[in-house]
Amino acid sequence: MKEWCIQVENTNGSGSPLLGRRKEIIYLLITFLFAVFAARLIYLQVFRNDYYRKLALSNRIRRERVIAPRGLIRDSEGEKLVIDTPLYQIRVLPREVRGNEERLALACRWMDIDGEKLSASLKRWEKKYPDGRAMTAVTDADKRQISILMENRELFPFFKLLTKHRRKYLHGSTAAHILGYVGEVTEREVRSSEDIRPGDIKGRAGVEYVYDRYLRGRDGMRLVETNAGGKKLGEYYSYFEDGQLRSKIRPHPPVPGNQLYLTIDLKLQSYVDQALEGRRGSIVIMEPETGRILAASSYPAFDPNTISVGITDEIWSELNDDPEKPLFNRSVQATYPPGSIHKLLIAYIYLEKGYSSRMSDFQSCRGRYKFGNRYFKCWKEEGHGRLELYNAIVQSCDVYFYQIGETLAANTLAEGGTVFGMGRKTGVDLPAEASGLIPDQDYFNRKFGKGKWTRGHLLNCSIGQGDILATPIQLALVTSIFANGGRMVLPHVVDRILDQSGNTVYRGRGRPREIGRLDRNAFGFVRKAMEGVIDEKMGTGRFSRLEGVSSAGKTGTSQNPHGEDHALFVAFAPVESPQISIAVVLENAGHGGVEAGPLARDIMQYYFREIAAGEDQHAENREGKKGRMPEALSPEREVLQR
Residues 6+ apart with CB under 8 A from 166: 84, 85, 86, 87, 140, 308, 309
CB of 236 to another protein, least distance (A): 11
**Residue 64 or 519 having the CB closest to another protein:** 64
Q: Which of 194, 228, 451, 502 binds another protein (CB under 8 A)?
A: 228
Pick from 11, 28, 31: nearest CA to 20: 11
Q: Which C-beta is closer to another protein: that of 57 or that of 483?
A: 57
- Shortest Å, Cβ 241 to another protein: 14
Which region, judged by CB under 8 A, interacts with another protein, from 225-233, 351-359, 470-478, 609-617? 225-233
Q: What is the sign of the dihedral through the CA atoms of 282, 283, 287 and 293? A: negative
Q: Is 119 exposed, middle or buried (0-12, 13-18, 19+ CB in 10 A)?
A: middle
Give the strand pairing for 73-74 and 259-262: parallel
Q: How far is the CB of 94 from another protein (least distance, A)?
A: 21
Which of 5/249 has CB closer to another protein?
5
Residue 155 C-beta: closest distance to another protein, Å: 10
Direct distance between the N- and C-terminal alpha carbons of the chain, in angstroms, rounded to an integer: 125
Q: In what order do the strands lie in the sheet with 563-573?
A: 293-299, 281-286, 580-586, 563-573, 552-560
Q: How far is the CB of 31 from another protein (least distance, A)?
A: 7
Beta bridge partners of 494: 262
Residue 49 Cβ vs another protein, minimum distance, rounded to whole Å? 4
Applying the rule CB under 8 A, the residues between 413 and 452 that interact with another protein are none
One of 229, 451, 561, 624 touching another protein (CB under 8 A): 229
Q: Which of 186, 227, 312, 617 binds another protein (CB under 8 A)?
A: 227
- With respect to another protein, which residue has the nearer C-beta, 45 or 317? 45
Q: Using an 8 Å Cβ cutoff, are 548 and 373 in contact?
A: no
- The 232-261 site mask, x for binding another protein (CB under 8 A), equals xxx---------------------------
Of 136, 210, 143, which Cα lies nearest the Cα of 180?
Answer: 210
- Helices and strands counted in the chain (H then E): 27, 21
Q: Which is nearer to another protein, 222 or 368 (CB)?
A: 222
**How many residues contact another protein, by CB under 8 A?**
50
**Minimum distance of another protein from residue 225's CB (angstroms):** 7
Could you tell me the smallest distance in angstroms from the CB atom of residue 5 to another protein?
7
Say how far apart CA 283 and CA 291 lie, in whole Å: 15
272-311: contacts with another protein (CB under 8 A): none
In the complex, what is the shortest distance from the CB of residue 55 to another protein, in angstroms, rounded to a whole number?
Answer: 5
| CA-based nearest residue to 387, from 404, 374, 410 | 404
Closer of 158 and 181 to another protein (Cβ): 158
Tell me if the bond preceding 69 is cis, omega within 30° of 0.
no
Q: Which is nearer to another protein, 56 or 315 (CB)?
A: 56
CA-to-CA distance for 143 and 159, rounded, in angstroms?
A: 15
CA distance 152 to 147: 9
Helix (H) or strand (E) holding 371: strand 368-371
Site for another protein in 99-138 (CB under 8 A): none
Helix (H, G, I), strand (E, B) or coil at 623: helix
Nearest residue to 518 via CA among 531, 505, 527, 509 = 527
Report the alpha-carbon distance of residue 586 to residue 341 in Å, rounded: 14
Site string for another protein, 2-21 (x = CB under 8 A): -xxx-xxx-xxxx---xx--
Closer to another protein by CB, 234 or 563: give it.
Answer: 234
Distance CA 129, CA 628 (A): 57
Applying CB under 8 A, among 126, 200, 225, 535 the residue interacting with another protein is 225
E strands, 243-288, where? 259-262, 281-286
Nearer to another protein, 51 or 448 (CB): 51
The DSSP line for 156-199 is: -TTEEEEEEEEEEETTTTTTHHHH--EEEPPHHHHHH-SS--TT
Least separation in angstroms between CB 164 and another protein = 21
Residues 22-61, interacting with another protein (CB under 8 A): 22-23, 26-27, 30-31, 33-34, 36-38, 40-42, 44-46, 48-49, 51-53, 55-57, 59-60
**Closest CB to another protein among 24 and 631?**
24
**In the bound complex, what is the minimum distance in angstroms from residue 316's beta carbon to another protein?**
39
Question: Of 9 and 277, which CB lies nearer to another protein in the complex structure?
Answer: 9
Please state the closest distance from residue 110 (CB atom) to another protein, in A: 17
Minimum distance between the CB of residue 56 and another protein, rounded to whole angstroms?
Answer: 4
Give 231 or 250: the residue with its C-beta nearer to another protein. Answer: 231
In terms of Cα–Cα distance, which of 642, 572, 569, 557 is closest to 604? Answer: 572
Return the number of the residue (53 or 123) whose C-beta is nearest another protein: 53
Of 109, 144, 218, 231, the one binding another protein by CB under 8 A: 231
- Does position 411 interact with another protein (CB under 8 A)? The reply is no
Q: Are 474 and 436 in contact (CB under 8 A)?
A: yes
Q: Which residues pair with 571 in a beta bridge?
A: 553, 582
Minimum CB distance to another protein smaller for 9 or for 388? 9
DSSP state of 321: H
For another protein, the binding residues in 140-179 under the rule CB under 8 A are 153-154
What is the nearest approach in angstroms of another protein to the Cβ of residue 151? 9
Minimal distance, residue 259 CB to another protein, in Å: 34
Helix H, strand E, coil C: the string for 492-507 is ECEEEEECCCCCEEEE
Interior CA angle at 434 toward 428 and 436, to 5°?
Answer: 115
Residues in touch with another protein (CB under 8 A): 3-5, 7-9, 11-14, 18-19, 22-23, 26-27, 30-31, 33-34, 36-38, 40-42, 44-46, 48-49, 51-53, 55-57, 59-60, 153-154, 225-229, 231-234
